[in-house]
Amino acid sequence: MPSRHLRRYQAPEWWPISTKEAVWVVRPSPGPHPLAKSLPLALLVRDVLRYAKTLREARYVIGKGLIKVDGKVRRDYKYPVGLMDVVEIVPTNEVYRMVPHPTKFLWPVLISQEEARYKLCRIENKTMVKGGQIQLNLHDGRNIQLPYEEGSKYDTLDSVLIDIAENKIVDYVKLELGSLGLIVDGKNVGYYGKITEIVQTYRKRESTVKIITNEGKEVRTIVDYLFAVGKEKPLITIAPQQSTQSQ
């Protein structure tokens, strides 16, 4: 059984904390994202968005219901915020999306209220459920059930654009040649560009893939680290970095 506590030196390196300020740090609650790929809501409020100076203040802000994640008020200061999550600051009407960053791994980027209605999710698994329906298991823990005919057109590692309020698919992107891919893990995290090569291996997730950024740089990774985000342009806003000038 995992410990309820977390020492700072054991926390992921990309967390915006100092190991010398204190011994302990907030450990994320069990949730839709693993510890290594998420940030506790309290640290996001205090150390990233800086709406609080202390953990006590961050817990107060969160406990008052002033922070929403994916449209729902979250009062647990340990709630794990991860890839593509939409975070809304209720009093200021500011909305952020958590996206990959080349040096900070995950970082919030400001988005519009209109875009906040949608979230891009990756299909991690497909299963057949009672009634002959297909269930899509998405990267953020949510599941969507579809009639067999409709569900059959989706493959694992494809991405679907979700209407958050209705939990309904409004668009999708296949992970294939010509699609736009965003690297979400590994040493090349944060790079974004067109998929130009996929070298299949026995295990689909371990297949190698090459993307070319807008600047012409070739970057290689494995399929498991790639997130399809669009065809001609991304379906969502991604971090303002060297490879997003075409948006």
Query: Mean pLDDT in each 10-residue stretch from start to end of the chain (247 residues)?
Result: 78 90 92 95 96 96 97 97 97 96 92 96 95 94 94 95 95 96 95 95 93 94 97 86 35
Instruction: Give the per-residue pLDDT at 243.
Output: 36
Render pLDDT for 29-46 as a digit per residue (tens, 0 to 9).
Answer: 999 999 999 999 999 999
Are residue 195 and residue 145 in the same domain, yes or no? no
User: What CATH number does the domain containing 149 carry?
Assistant: 2.40.50.740
The per-residue pLDDT for 21 is 85
CATH of the domain at 39: 3.10.290.10
- Statement to judge: residues 150 and 79 lie in one domain: no
Q: Which residues pair with 60 in a beta bridge?
A: none
Contact (Cβ atoms closer than 8 angstroms) between residue 80 and residue 31? yes
C-alpha closest to that of 208 among 192, 221, 193: 221
Assess if residue 195 is contained within a domain.
yes
pLDDT of residue 245: 32
Rounded to whole angstroms, the Cα distance separating 226 from 196 reads 13
**Across all residues in the chain, what is the average pLDDT?**
92
- For residue 121, the enclosing domain spans 117-173
**Does residue 94 share a domain with residue 185?**
no
Q: Are residues 103 and 125 in the same domain?
A: no
Domain boundary among 111, 139, 156: 111
Helices (H), the chain: 41-43, 55-63, 148-151
Residue-level pLDDT at 130: 87
